Chain A
Amino acid sequence: MTGTSAPTSWRRPPQIIKDRRWRIAVQIGIVVYLVLAFGSVEVNWIRVYDGLERGQRFIMGFLQPDFSSRWRDISQGLIESLTMTLTSTVVGVAISVPIGIGAARNLAPRWIYYICRSIIAVSRSLQEIIIAIFFVAMFGFGPFAGFLTLSFATIGFIAKLLADDIEEIDETQAEAVRSTGATWWQVVNYAVQPQVMPRLIGLSLYRLDINFRESAVIGIVGAGGIGATLNTAIDRYEYDSAGAILLIIIAIVMVAEYGSSYLRKFLQ
Chain B
Amino acid sequence: MTEITRYNQFWSHRTQRERLALWIGWLALVALFVWCWQIMTTDTIWFFVSDAPRQAADIGSRMVPPRWSYISELWVPLWDTLNIATLGTLGGVIMAVPVAFLAARNTTPSATVLRPIALFIIVASRSINSLIWALLLVAIIGPGLLAGIVAIALRSIGFVGKLLYEAIEETDTSQTEAIEATGASGLQVLNYGIVPQIMPAFWGITVFRWDINIRESTILGLVGAGGIGLKLQASLNTLAWSQVSVILLLILATVVLSEWVSARVRHAII
Which of chain B's residues have a CB closer than 8 A to the CB of A142?
A: 43-45
Number of interface residues, chain B, beta carbon within 8 A = 58
> B178 in the interface, Cβ–Cβ < 8 Å?
no
Which of B29, B83, B127, B219 interacts with A37 by CB under 8 Å?
B83
> A119 in the interface, Cβ–Cβ < 8 Å?
no
**Complex Cα gap A55–B45 (Å):** 39
Interface flags, B24-43, vs A, CB<8A=1, else 0: 00000100110011011101
A231-B142 in contact (CB<8A): no
Binds B, one of A64-72, A95-103, A161-169, A215-223: A215-223
B146-A144 in contact (CB<8A): no
> A268 in the interface, Cβ–Cβ < 8 Å?
no
> B55 in the interface, Cβ–Cβ < 8 Å?
yes
> B236 in the interface, Cβ–Cβ < 8 Å?
yes
**Complex Cα gap A48–B146 (Å):** 9
B132-A139 in contact (CB<8A): no
- Please report whether the interface of chain B is mostly helix, strand, loop or mixed according to DSSP: helix
Which of chain A's residues have a CB closer than 8 A to the CB of B248?
A: 130
B132-A230 in contact (CB<8A): yes
**Complex Cα gap A135–B141 (Å):** 31
User: Distance (Å) between the CB of B114 and the closest chain A CB?
Assistant: 19
**Complex Cα gap A249–B131 (Å):** 14
B132-A217 in contact (CB<8A): yes
B87-A15 in contact (CB<8A): no
Which of B36, B41, B83 interacts with A40 by CB under 8 Å?
B83
> A104 in the interface, Cβ–Cβ < 8 Å?
no
Can you pick out 26 interface pairs between chain A and chain B where the beta carbons lie within 8 Å of each other?
Answer: A37-B83, A38-B87, A41-B149, A47-B142, A48-B142, A51-B140, A51-B142, A55-B141, A58-B139, A79-B39, A82-B36, A83-B40, A87-B33, A87-B40, A90-B29, A125-B255, A130-B219, A138-B52, A139-B48, A140-B48, A143-B40, A143-B43, A217-B129, A220-B135, A220-B222, A231-B135
Known: A137-B55, A138-B52, A250-B124. 20 other contacts (CB 8 A): A38-B87, A40-B79, A40-B83, A50-B142, A54-B140, A55-B141, A58-B139, A82-B36, A87-B33, A125-B255, A129-B219, A138-B55, A139-B49, A140-B45, A140-B49, A142-B45, A143-B44, A213-B127, A220-B222, A234-B139
Footprint of B on A, CB under 8 Å? 12, 15-16, 33, 37-38, 40-44, 47-48, 50-52, 54-55, 58, 79-80, 82-84, 86-87, 90, 125-127, 129-130, 133-134, 137-140, 142-144, 147, 190, 194, 213-214, 216-217, 220-221, 227, 230-231, 234, 237, 242, 246, 249-250, 253-254
